Amino acid sequence: MKLASLFDGISGFPLAGSRHGIEPVWASEIERVPVEISKRHFPNMKHYGDVTKINGAEVEPVDIITFGSPCQDLSVAGKRAGMGEGTRSGLFSEAVRIIKEMRSGTNGTYPRYAVWENVPGAFSSNKGEDFRAVIESLTKVAEETVSIPLPKDGRWEPAGLVEGDG
């Protein structure tokens, strides 16, 4: 399997994948020091820089796209501006765009998996609406008509699965 890492940081996802036989192929990160660290550990991994400049249909298709999009707007450690109002966490939509572009460019074959790293506060940001939007956006990549409701009691389970025909 092949992996791409968006908002790569110091390549935590590529490191985990490589320890389990998954090949890190390319990454996106704009901070110089994390890129230098990543290049030291993964000299063959391509680096594309700014996530807003990547076209998912034009980069090498991968089985897995991982991302821990900037999350300060969701985190209990941040200002809790949320997905809609926050400027940093809004970059989540760039990851979804890249995934959709890659799927379109490969007739729905790649990526097969998307892994999003969340933060403390992701479940409760904007009264749970931000996490609902994350799950719904990722599910709509393959199931355009899906609608994910907020939990009746307003509390998300610590683990779960959304599955569909696509």
Q: What is the pLDDT of residues 29-87, one digit of tens each?
A: 999 999 999 999 999 999 999 999 999 999 999 999 999 865 554 444 445 455 554 44
Higher pLDDT: 9 or 89? It is 9
Tell me the whole-structure pTM to 2 decimals: 0.85
Lowest average pLDDT, out of 24-28, 30-34, 41-45, 91-95, goes to 91-95
CA distance 95 to 15: 20
Listed in order, strand segments (DSSP E) in 20-143 are 23-27, 46-47, 64-67, 113-116
Q: Where are the domains of the chain?
A: 2-69+87-117
pLDDT of residue 90: 64
Buried b vs exposed e over 140-149: b needs ≥16 C-beta within 10 Å?
bbeeeebebe
Lowest average pLDDT, out of 108-112, 143-147, 161-165, goes to 161-165
Residues 6 or more apart whose CB falls under 8 angstroms from that of 80 comprise 73, 74, 121, 125
The domain 2-69+87-117 having CATH identifier 3.90.870.10: the answer here is no
Contact 90, 45 (CB under 8 A): no
